[in-house]
Amino acid sequence: MENLWIIVAMGAVTYLPRAIPLAVLAQIKIPEGFIRWLRFVPVAVLAALLAPELLLRDGAFDLSLSNHYLLAAVPCFLVAVKTKNLLLTVGVGLAAAILLQSYLPGV
Amino acid sequence: MMRKYWGKEMMSLPTTEATLKTANPVGELAAGVSQATPIMLGYVVLAMAFGILAREAGLTILETVAMSVIVFAGASQFIAAGMFAAAMSPATIILTTFLVNLRHILMSASLAPYLRGLKLHSYALLGWGITDETFAVHSTVYRERRRHHWFIYGTNFAAYAAWVSGTVIGALFGSIVPGIDQLPLGFALPAMFICLLVMQLSDRLVLYAGVLAAGLSLLFGQLWEGNWNIILATVLTATIASGWEKWKISG
């Protein structure tokens, strides 16, 4: 039972940072400088999340052939640049990741 | 090619009020759901892995599913499961969850300019569904075209449904189907991020900002534990890039 209360509290501290900035900022006039600042948030968040995912394993840099995520990312980038098609990129990425796992195990 | 004047670009888009009047909410909802397909794929698999892990960590089926229903934030749930297994104090678990999920502040704020003029309960509901993945989709979609906010409900609801049902499957049947979480299906999410990142690259400055954020995130990740690298890299990158842009425009 105590665990459930911890989980409810986890939910609360997760929800508030998600909802408050949107609810407040959408209803006030946002200074132009801040809008300019916010413009770079999506690309920065995406790159900041993605880079460790692809380049690190267990917290250390892994640029070897056994880093399948990094290898599978190559065709993903190519397809994304060429087509900008979300589903196609994901399909190619998954196919690459599964093929790598089957034929280049060496982990 | 270069979109220098973000303010002007924002103004050239139809206002939320205009979109609200002309768009068909149900159609937008359906479009949002279909846009969520890659997210759902990745979430089902990751949530199954979470369900299995949380059960192994000693949580009951009810607690495991409750965490996905109530918290709905992948990375922090995996971390919390580990902390429950290690019998850490409630305060430590809650504080860690807060810190790991604090990055949503930035995402929530950056969607605000697109979603003006709605009711408070709409914001309460829209904020609920902000995850790394839904944010990535919405910030990309809204840059191209203003949508009805039911589009966001569609994506978020589909993602949430996938997350919760994956958790249920993992918690109930995880031990029966061994190996399913060994398949690299979780790569659906990084693959999606790659495409969304590429779609964000509207001009050279945004590209440089992405490279800078990637480098800073790796650097800060080596320096400090936890998720601070995401927040710090984003704040620093946005500050440098917007400062640079303002300096260049003003002379």
pLDDT tier, B96 (very low <50, low <70, confident <90, very high otherwise): confident
Q: How many residues are present in chain B? A: 251
In sequence order, which residues have a C-beta less than 8 Å from that of residue A6 and are 6 or more positions away? Answer: B90, B93, B94
**pLDDT at position A107 over 60:** no
Grouping H, G, I as helix, E, B as strand and the rest as coil, residue B221 is helix
Helix, strand or coil for residue B108?
Answer: helix
- From the CA of A64, how many Å to the nearest CA of chain B? 17
Nearest chain B Cα distance for residue A103, angstroms:
13
**Highest-confidence range of A49-58, B16-25, B236-245, by mean pLDDT?**
B236-245
Q: What is the ipTM of this complex?
A: 0.90
Burial A62-81 (b: 16+ CB within 10 A, else e): eeeeebbbbbbbebbbebbe
Chain B residue closest in CA terms to A73: B191
Of A24, A39, A48, the CB nearest to B214: A48
Q: What is the DSSP string of A33-96?
A: HHHHHHHTHHHHHHHHHHHHHHHEETTEE--STT-HHHHHHHHHHHHHHHH--HHHHHHHHHHH
Contact by Cβ (8 Å): A28, B109:
no
Q: Please determine, for residue B23, whether its predicted confidence score (pLDDT) is greater than 80.
A: no
**pTM for the structure as a whole:** 0.82
What part of B 26-85 touches A (C-beta under 8 Å)? 35, 37-38, 41, 59-60, 62-63, 66-67, 70-73, 76, 80, 84
Is the Cβ of B93 closer than 8 Å to some Cβ of chain A?
yes
- Partners of residue A57 on adjacent β-strands: A60
Mutate which: B187, B224, B230, B231, vs A, most A CBs within 10 A: B187
Number of neighbouring beta carbons within 10 Å of residue B184: 20
pLDDT of residue B12: 43
Chain A residues with beta carbon closer than 8 angstroms to that of B111: 22
If DSSP codes are grouped into helix, strand and coil, which group holds residue B177? coil
Locate B237 and state its tokens: 């990158």
Mean pLDDT (chain B, rounded): 87
Residue ranges per structural domain of chain B = 14-200, 203-251
d(CA A63, CA A66): 8
DSSP output for B33-71: HHHTHHHHHHHHHHHHHHHHHHHHTT--HHHHHHHHHHT
As a whole number, mean pLDDT of residues B26-40 equals: 93
Of B104, B211, B238, the CB nearest to A17: B104
| Mutation target vs B (from A25, A45, A78, A89; most B CBs, 10 A cutoff) | A45
pLDDT, chain A, mean: 91
Whether the CB of B180 is below 8 Å from some CB of chain A: the reply is no
Residue B228's pLDDT is 83
What is the average pLDDT across B220-249?
A: 91
Tokens of B60: 């009951």
Quote the pLDDT of residue B68. 98
| Average pLDDT, integer, range A87-105 | 89
Residues 6+ apart with CB under 8 A from B15: B116, B117, B146
For the segment B45-54, the average pLDDT, to the nearest whole number, is: 88
Higher pLDDT, B72 or B202: B72
Q: What pairs with residue A61 in β-bridges? A: A56
Give residues with Cβ within 8 angstroms of B18, minimum separation 6.
none
β-bridge mates for residue A56, sequence order:
A61
**Tens-digit pLDDT profile for residues A5-29:** 999 999 999 999 999 999 999 999 8
What's the confidence (pLDDT) of residue B3? Answer: 40
The model's confidence at residue B121, banded by pLDDT at 50, 70 and 90, is very high
Please write the tens of the pLDDT for every residue from B128-184.
Answer: 999 999 999 999 998 888 889 999 999 999 999 999 999 999 999 876 666 665 677
